[in-house]
Structure 1
Amino acid sequence: MIKQLDYKPIYEIFARFREAEAEPKGELDHVNAYTLVVAVALSAQATDKGVNKATAELFKVADTPQKMLDLGEDALIEHIKTIGLYRTKAKNVIKLSQRLVDAFDGDVPSSRAALESLPGVGRKTANVVLNMWWHVPTQAVDTHIFRFGNRSGVAVGKDVVAVERAIEDHIPAEFQQHAHHWMILHGRYVCKARKPLCSTCLIRDLCDFEEKTID
């Protein structure tokens, strides 16, 4: 396991990220808090691009929990059948929509515990919604963040919860709001699982990764 970086390099890493893109955005299309919850829930084991393609027409007809219930599971499946695990996800979207109607008057709650009470919504999904919609500095650790955090030494941990805690403990407060988006985007497009683009990486000199590519 790579040793955790000291404070100064971590500060400089995120200062560079901020200078390059001050307001990073998530890549899942949504029109309100509800469609964000649905989009993130659908994105498990799927690409954002694939989810956006599937939800482009879906969200035109079902952008509230009640409209989704009115649409029904079979029609929902037709919209999302290009996404992996679409049958299970469709069931969960209908169930979470019903719970939002029954328990929250159709509104998306702003607490992690309440969000995690929704079918198909785990800690990562809850953290994404809290961060993107409610502007809470939560850290949604996905495979890109896990890889980048451990490779770079920014947030070292053996599992996603450990990496999440490392981010909260070691990344300066001024960067917490956008930290997970900077890391996701960097992991997705630069610090790739295969053939990372180290030669063009803006934090190459600060990164602890010992197997940097040279091309």
Structure 2
Amino acid sequence: MTAPLRAKQAITDKCVDFCCQDLRPFSVVSGEGFKSLAQELINIGSTFGRVPVASVLPHYTTVSKVCTEKAEVKRSLLIEQVKKALGSGCDVAMSTDMWTDDYRKMSYIAITCHFTDTDFNLFGKTLTTAVFPAEDAKTGKNIRRELVRLLVNRFGLEPSSLSRIVWVTDRGSNIVKALEPYKRLSCLDHVINTVLRHGLD
């Protein structure tokens, strides 16, 4: 079953209004998440009739709370997979980077992990994005302390297992210094970028 042309035109108009009123990119209507939401709203309408949208859509604080809860569940499952990989003797690759939000003057540190299971299926996930302590300078020592705090204190990895993590990072001096006690490889994309930039300059 397909919707008639006049219905499609009405939806197009509403999509335009949505993007303009809420300052969203036009591409948002092509996203899988938006299409999944729209389909669920259509399903609810076909089941319960013309119900007020306010009785269906949640408050944004509810969305935030549920998002946090779902993220914690997924992160817990991911951590168990990482622990299992490390426990089975497999090396786990991780990457980390930092950046600063110049508007709010807040710095962030992110950790992603990559590993294979016993069937050689590759997993690659963002483990966390955390606020870097504002009172700490971004020295190698402080970065290392924050990485250990996140991996050991927050996520429960064994301190001894950190020696089996292979880090892939850019060649920033503070990141290189932070990971001196561990295995670290330079990101090839960053190396090529540096070579090309200096070569073209």
TM-score scaled by length of structure 2: 0.29
Which structure has more helix as a fraction of its residues?
Answer: 1
TM-score scaled by length of structure 1: 0.27
Which structure has more strand as a fraction of its residues?
Answer: 2
- Larger relative contact order (Cα-Cα within 8 Å, sequence gap ≥ 6): 1
Highest Rg: 1 or 2? 2
